[in-house]
Structure 1
Amino acid sequence: MTLRRQVQFWLVSLAVFCAFLYVFSGVLLPFVAGMAVAYLLDPVCDRLEALGMARMWATLSILFTFVLILVLFFMLLLPVLGNQLAAFLERFPDLVRQLQGLLSEQLGSRFAAAAGITPEDLQSTMSDLVGQGASFVAKLAQSVWSGGQALLSILSLFVITPVVAFYLLLDWDRMVERIDSWLPRDHLGQIRGLAREMDAAVAGFVRGQVSVCLILGSFYAISLAVLGLNFGLLIGMGAGLISFIPFVGAGVGLVLSVGVALVQFWPEWPWVAAVAAVFGIGQFLEGNILQPKLVGDSTGLHPVTLMFALFAFGYLFGFVGMLVAVPASAMIGVLARFALRQYLASPVYKGSSRSTTAIEE
């Protein structure tokens, strides 16, 4: 097959895959979650199998433990988080109005004098900004909920996802061997090398980032709850769980928690400062300890590229797109680096010897 035919084949395959994601994105979520669980737990299953346990019993043991942890989470934490979420959504308009009034009262006259505008104009501008921010938060929460509600449903979480994870985890090695048998024989070594590089990039990020999100979520939630912040458990867990988006998790959590703290604690500003310090400490731990130790530079992606991939895939494919954004971006990054190496070693970059000699002369 000529190079042109190969390029056409892979472009058509990519287009079919993207079309499949777009058409079936509404029902793919529990299946993607099951694939993620199987991929995440496969090394543990391999370790148990190496210790002498049969693959079937290793799979059952791991999934039973995983489902048990989920059940305990839903029984112990979900009711508390659900109550806090309902109360937060109910009080959110009042919190916004109180925060707006507090900021206008404490800072309005100073900023108005410094900017050379009237306090009424400043208050109107602040009202517009706070209103737009509140609308953005409400739309974001609604979008996340509508996109993730299939995953949170009893059917998908406790039936479909574990079943998919069980069969994939049980047959993981056989599936890998089957896919390996379909690879083009002329390029087998090269494709296997790229696949190993992709696996290292995806596995390093997924397994490391899950640990980072859980640790940060626990730290934020416990710290804010100890400080007595209203909705502290909800804000902390939410900030930790979206920490896979660089700077967004900590930024959203900081804005929400400081806003709630201002309404709740003002004029006792040390409590507000303590709430802000929680996220400062969390960012220090994430940037200097957790990320370097647990994730590192496994994906090879710049944070800006990672953020663009998350938003782009989320825009195109919804919540499912956000789940596959990082693995897909890591794979694309591996292919892009491979293409760059091929280009740098090709005559297109180096030029012919005749042209090189002419340039030197």
Structure 2
Amino acid sequence: MVSPRLMRLTFLIAGMVIGGAFLVWAGDILSPFIVALMLAYLCDPLTTRFEKFGIPRGVGSILVVALLVLLFLGALSVLGPIVYGQLQSLIKILPSLIDRVMDGIRTEIMPYIALPSAETGRPAGSGSLNFAAPLASSVLSGGLMVLPKIGLALLTPVILYYLLRDWPKLVTTIYASVPDGRRQKSHEIVAEVDHILSGFLRGQAWVCVTVAIVYASGLMLSGLEYGLVIGIFAGFMKYLPYIGTAIALVLAGMTGVAQEGATLALFGGVAATFIVAEGIESSILTPRLVGERVDVPPAMVIFAVLMGGKLLGVLGVFLGVPIFAILRLIVREVMAPDPVKLQD
């Protein structure tokens, strides 16, 4: 006879396979709903607070959505042109930047490595140029692919409003659908899920935003070109433990090497910025805002981020870790031993 635990595991695996296939098939359509659901979870406490002050929940939901839209448009109007200009310039210098780094490796490092020289008759750096030029063109032209998705993006505030307005009803309906005998256990699981989501979505989001501000401010004060773009990139790469910081540091170093008139003070400022940002993040922000609530090993974080990006694109990069943590929690509950029944 098949054990109940094996049956539960089989159904869970089948559900995960079907769910993954559905995400691949309907990822673009689901994006505004997932973003709205995530924002509704983050903003529900604010909407509830408005309600406690006597503001009807529908009106409070409108106020929250309007506030988010104004913040987004304000940030876009102030930072958008600067970020776009720096990003465009950075992409344009990417071929020469790669060439200079490769030339430095070829002249300073390769003579000490006992490898046979491979003369191909190409000018120095032409390989990287042939690689980087199509890459830059691809990145710039890829921006046009965003236009068809604007319509779906405009749905996000509308969906967010309805989710915020009906959030208590949704929670009550979900709890009511659970059988009485499993309601207590379901409540415990939901509490753990809330613990994970609040630790990651709320905590890690604040960590990334704060560290991005520190990085951008420090790099710009150091005199690094494209410091704003690299700083924002470095902040949000904190989702990838160790690797994200390493990639951002290499990018900042390469940009400094390619910058005209670079001095030791510039590189000292860049190094100091990364040291200070890492110190603030590891000793203050993460312990207080995230703590051990997510508790996913670094290797699994990288796997979850890459898998999330494969299934849902950029959105999956940000949601991969909490989804992985929740799935691990569900698997743990499914594989828990069945309670022993006492015989009379």
TM-score with structure 1 setting the length: 0.80
Matched-pair contact (CA < 8 Å) for 1:148–1:319: no
Quote the residue 2:298 is aligned against: 303
TM-aligned CA deviation for residue 313 of structure 1: 2.6
Matched, 1:187 2:189: no
Partner residue in 2 for 1:253:
248
Q: Which amino acid aligns with 2:78?
A: L
Is residue 314–residue 321 contact of structure 1 (8 Å, CA) maintained in 2?
A: yes
Could you tell me which amino acid in structure 2 is paired with residue 292 of structure 1?
P
Deviations 1:274-330 (A, max 9, x none): 212211221121111111111111112112111111112322443343343122112
Matched with 2:88 is 86
Contact 2:220 2:227 in 1 (8 A): yes
SS of the residue corresponding to residue 208 of structure 2 reads helix
| Corresponding residue of 2:43 | 41
What CA deviation, in whole Å up to 9, does each residue of 1:62-82 have, x standing for no partner?
A: 211111110101111011111
Matched, 1:101 2:100: no
Q: In 2 relative to 1, CA 52–267 (structure 1 residues): closer, same or farther, beyond 3 Å?
A: closer
Taking a change above 3 Å as real, the CA distance of residues 320 and 65 of structure 1, as seen in their structure-2 partners, is: closer
CA contact (8 A) 1:49 1:58 kept: yes
Structure 1 window deviating more from structure 2 (64-73 vs 300-309): it is 300-309
Cα separation, 1, equivalents of 2:208 and 2:120: 38
Give the letter aligned to residue 273 of structure 1. G
- Name the SS of the counterpart of 1:171 in structure 2: helix
Q: Alignment partner of 1:299: what SS?
A: coil
Q: Kindly state the Cα deviation for residue 246 of structure 1 after the two structures are TM-superposed.
A: 1.4
User: What's the CA shift for 1:173?
Assistant: 1.0
| 2:195 counterpart (200, 219, 236) | 200
Distance 1:123 1:256, change over 3 A: farther
Q: C-alpha separation between the residues in 1 aligned to 2:272 and 2:234?
A: 15
Contact 2:240 2:305 survives alignment (8 Å): yes
Matched with 1:287 is: 282
Determine whether 1:155 maps to 2:151.
yes
* Identical amino acids, percent of aligned pairs: 25
Quickly say closer, same or farther: Cα 1:315–1:234, change in 2 above 3 A.
same
2:264 equivalent to 1:269: yes
**Kindly tell me: are residues 182 and 316 of structure 1, through their superposed partners in 2, closer, same or farther at Cα, counting changes over 3 Å?**
same
Distance between the aligned counterparts of 1:265 and 1:282, measured in 2?
26
**RMSD of aligned alpha carbons:** 3.3
- Secondary structure of the structure 2 residue equivalent to 1:297: coil
Q: Quick one: distance in 1 between partners of 2:111 and 2:164?
A: 62
Aligned equivalent of 2:214, options 219, 226, 235: 219
Deviation at 1:244, TM superposition (A): 1.5
Displacement of 1:222 in angstroms is 1.4
**How many Å apart are 1:193 and its aligned residue?**
0.7
The answer as to whether partners of 2:224 and 2:266 remain within 8 angstroms in 1 is no
Q: Is the 8 A contact 2:27 2:311 kept in 1?
A: no
Query: In structure 2, what is the Cα distance between the partners aligned to 1:314 and 1:73?
Result: 25
* C-alpha separation in 2, matches of 1:123 and 1:263: 25
Instruction: Give 3-state SS (helix, strand or coil) of 1:25's partner.
Output: helix
Stretches of structure 2 lacking an aligned partner (at least 5 in a row): none
CA distance in 2 between partners of 1:296 and 1:220 (Å):
22
Change (3 A) 1:193 1:122: farther
CA distance in 2, matches of 1:331, 1:29: 19
* 2:30 corresponds to: 28
Query: CA shift at 1:43, angstroms?
Result: 1.4
TM-fit CA distance, 1:189: 1.0
Q: 1:320 to 1:233 in 2, by over 3 A?
A: closer
Distance 2:220 2:232 in 1: 11
Aligned to 1:354: none
Number of residues of Structure 1 aligned to a counterpart in Structure 2: 330
Structure 2 letter corresponding to 1:112: P
Q: Which residue of 2 aligns with 1:112?
A: 111
**Structure 1, residues 108-159: CA drift from partner, whole Å, max 9, x if none?**
4xx624x3457x56999xx89x949x76x959x959x6799479x64344x2
Change (3 A) 1:116 1:18: closer
Instruction: Extract unaligned runs of 5+ from structure 1.
Output: 348-361
Letter in 2 for 1:194: I
Of 184-193 and 169-178, the range deviating more from structure 2 = 184-193
Residue 359 of structure 1 corresponds to none
Is the 1:31–1:164 contact (alpha carbons within 8 Å) kept by the matching residues of 2? yes
What's 2:78 paired with?
76
Structure-2-length-normalised TM-score: 0.84
Alignment partner, residue 64 of structure 1: 66
Contact 2:20 2:311 in 1 (8 A): no
Q: Secondary structure at the match of 1:258?
A: helix
Residues 60-102 of structure 1: per-residue CA shift (max 9 Å, x gap): 2221111111010111101111111111111111122123334
Partner SS state of residue 28, structure 1:
helix
Give the partner amino acid of 2:111: A
- Which residue identity is paired with 1:155? G
